[in-house]
């Protein structure tokens, strides 16, 4: 389905995979699409930025929302130094031995899209068709995110007080000036 | 590591958001260490009985928790 994607839109899809890998997520979710969108220097990304979104802020939100259950600060409060526990465990059992067993994507391996992220990409095609566009641009992926309306990306948007209707209008204006 | 007084003050903190997060993190930490140690013991040929004895639980409990599911902890024979 990617043949109709513009180079920018493809870069977002590839970028989302990279974001998922960096965040050690076993799947590519809507949040990784959003971060990848924000990393591109495109007019649509600027529209997102105008609504107060940056790649770094969204990444921080995602880390907070999906983060490891081991809270180093909390452990310090009861006298446990997580770093020193980690280094002695890794000395015996190898790097990453103390990591969450559920969050171990294969290094360099294929990371699958979540059903919701797939849905977003399908909806980006529909957004493009609705706007009578021949190709799917990165802005259509952003519209797909908003249209899908759920998932971690939307939670971040909501928590940051972004108005989805006004963002949608801005994106439409960028795509169809 | 923070000095003793500092730790004692924090541990005595009455802020539930600090205390409860610490408890949760300790529980997670214990679970991960237990899984590592049980796997290691199995790799070295320990029986479930021996492992259970040192963990202070029944053989059935440790077997049920670690032997039923995924491959690595299962006995190879």
Question: Residue A71 and residue B40: Cβ atoms within 8 Å?
Answer: no
Q: Which residues pair with A113 in a beta bridge?
A: A28
Question: Residue A78 and residue B22: Cβ atoms within 8 Å?
Answer: yes
List CB contacts of B41: < 8 A, sequence separation 6 or more: B50, B51
Name the helix (H) or strand (E) containing A143: helix A138-148
Question: Residue B10 and residue A77: Cβ atoms within 8 Å?
Answer: yes
pTM for this model (two decimals): 0.67
What tokens were used for A119? 């849905």
B24 in a structural domain: yes
From first to last of the 177 residues of chain A, give the pLDDT tens digit. Answer: 688 999 999 999 999 999 998 888 889 999 999 999 999 999 999 999 999 999 999 998 998 888 777 888 888 888 999 999 999 999 999 888 888 776 665 566 789 999 999 999 999 999 999 999 999 999 999 999 999 999 999 999 999 999 999 999 999 999 987
CATH number of the domain residue A58 falls in: 1.10.1780.10
Residue A136: phi and psi, rounded to 5, are: -100, 115
Domains in chain B, number: 1
B73 in a structural domain: no
Handedness of CA A66, B10, A86, B55 (dihedral sign): negative
Handedness of CA A148, A150, A153, A154 (dihedral sign): positive
> Is the confidence metric ipTM above 0.90 for this complex?
no
Domains in chain A, number: 1
Going by the DSSP 8-state scheme, the letter that residue A95 receives in this structure is: T
Is B54:B62 a contact under the CB 8 Å cutoff? no
Question: Residue A76 and residue B10: Cβ atoms within 8 Å?
Answer: yes
Q: How far apart (Å, rounded) are the C-alpha atoms in residues A154 and B62?
A: 41
Q: How far apart (Å, rounded) are the C-alpha atoms in residues B25 and A72?
A: 8
B12 in a structural domain: yes
In a mutational test of the A interface, the residue from B22, B38, B73 whose CB has the highest number of chain A CBs within 10 Å is B22
CA-based nearest distance B49→chain A, Å: 23
């Amino acid at each position: 389905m990617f043949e109709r994607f513009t180079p920018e839109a493809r870069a977002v899809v590839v970028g989302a995979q990279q974001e998922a890998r960096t965040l050690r997520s076993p799947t590519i979710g809507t949040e990784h699409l959003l971060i990848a969108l924000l990393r591109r220097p495109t007019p649509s990304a600027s529209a997102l930025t105008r609504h107060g979104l940056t790649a770094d802020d969204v990444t921080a939100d995602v880390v907070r929302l999906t983060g490891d259950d081991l809270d180093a600060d909390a452990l310090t409060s009861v006298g446990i130094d997580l770093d020193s526990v980690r280094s002695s465990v890794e000395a015996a059992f190898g790097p990453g031995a103390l990591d969450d067993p559920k969050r171990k994507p294969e290094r360099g391996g294929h990371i699958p899209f979540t059903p919701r992220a797939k849905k977003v990409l399908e909806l980006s095609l529909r957004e493009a068709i609705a706007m009578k566009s021949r190709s799917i641009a990165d802005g259509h992926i952003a519209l797909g995110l908003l249209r899908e309306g759920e998932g971690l990306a939307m939670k971040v948007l909501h928590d940051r007080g972004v108005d989805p209707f006004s963002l949608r209008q801005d994106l439409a204006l960028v795509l169809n000036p | 590591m923070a000095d003793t007084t500092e730790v004692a003050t924090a541990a005595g903190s009455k802020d539930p958001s600090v205390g409860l997060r610490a408890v949760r993190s300790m529980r997670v930490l214990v679970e991960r260490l237990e899984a590592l140690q049980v796997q290691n013991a199995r790799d070295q040929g320990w029986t479930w009985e021996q492992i259970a004895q040192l963990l202070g639980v029944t053989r059935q409990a440790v077997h049920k928790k670690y032997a039923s599911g995924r491959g690595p902890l299962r006995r190879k024979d």
